[in-house]
Structure 1
Amino acid sequence: MPPPTLRVARPTNDIGRVARFYTEGLGFEVLAHFEDHEGFDGIILGRRDSPWHIEFTHQHGVTVANAPTAEYLLVLYLPEREAWDAAVARMQALGIAPCRSENPYWDRQGVTFEDPDGYRVVLQNAAWG
């Protein structure tokens, strides 16, 4: 059986800004996008060879709040130092400064960045497990 595909879906007020953060900064690909689908615009980002993706949507006429706490995290494990260094450099080249993680565990082998909606992404220089 093929593994299930995981989709994380989240609303945003600015699809363009959040898409730039995840594509230019983190190297995600645009897998699909849609406009005015029953009152929603959206973009699906990820990597074509991975069984996961992130969908960002904007409902017309609706404003959503930023992340409720600094502990809403997306953690990307990048065990190869060269790949990790490149990811950190891409984020900084976009003018996105690292922030201190709420949980100090993530600062030991990782760097945390905040996306335009206040959600945090940890680039962890370690292997999962």
Structure 2
Amino acid sequence: MTPVLRIARASDDFEGVLRFYERGLGFDVLARFADHDGFDGLILGHPNGPWHLEFTRHPDHVAPPPPGPESLLVLYLPDPSAWRAAVARMTGAGFDPVPALNPYWNMRGHTFADPEGWRVVLQNAGWSV
């Protein structure tokens, strides 16, 4: 069985997160929870995918700021037409690319900042070990 990777972080802007990751990146809402030991949450990703993102909030805690412009979530999209469609979906949802700090990501990709400043790269390349 393939392990599932969950990347979890706090968020104070669930509406912005949904606009960015669901409308912009095309992720599905896999689950939601409310008042789980005081936390609300959203889990986003692709059904049957080996990874997903979890966003949590708590009324007594403020989400920390993003760590910096080199802390990236990179999505490799090797098919040029799929990559162009993903970039068009992001810009259509109101998100424009931002310059990457590392120029490598600008050569074959576009970097986008979510409403809280966390960065995602749509990279027009494949990746293998």
TM class, shorter-length: over 0.9
Q: CA deviation at 1:68?
A: 2.2
Question: Aligned partners of 1:35 and 1:73: how far apart in 2?
Answer: 28
Is 2:120 aligned against 1:121? yes
Shift of 1:46: 0.5
Provide the TM-score with structure 2 as the length reference.
0.95
Structure 1: gaps (5+ residues): none
Moved over 4 A (4+): none
Q: Secondary structure at the match of 1:107?
A: helix
Match of 1:65 in 2: 64
Cα RMSD, aligned residues only: 0.9
Separation in structure 2 between the aligned mates of residue 4 and residue 44 of structure 1, nearest angstrom = 17
What runs of 5+ residues in structure 2 fail to find an aligned partner? none
The equivalent residue for 2:3 is: 4
Query: d(CA) in 2 for partners of 1:49 and 1:39?
Result: 28
Q: What percentage of aligned pairs have identical amino acids?
A: 55
Post-superposition CA distance 1:84-108 (Å, at most 9, x none): 1111001111111100001111111
Matched residue pairs, number? 128
What is the alpha-carbon distance in structure 2 between the residues aligned to residue 111 and residue 69 of structure 1? 17
Instruction: Give a deviation string over 1:59-97, Cα, whole Å, max 9, x none.
Output: 112212321211110000001111111110011111111
Task: Give the equivalent residue in structure 1 for 2:111.
Answer: 112
Q: Return the TM-score normalized by structure 1.
A: 0.95
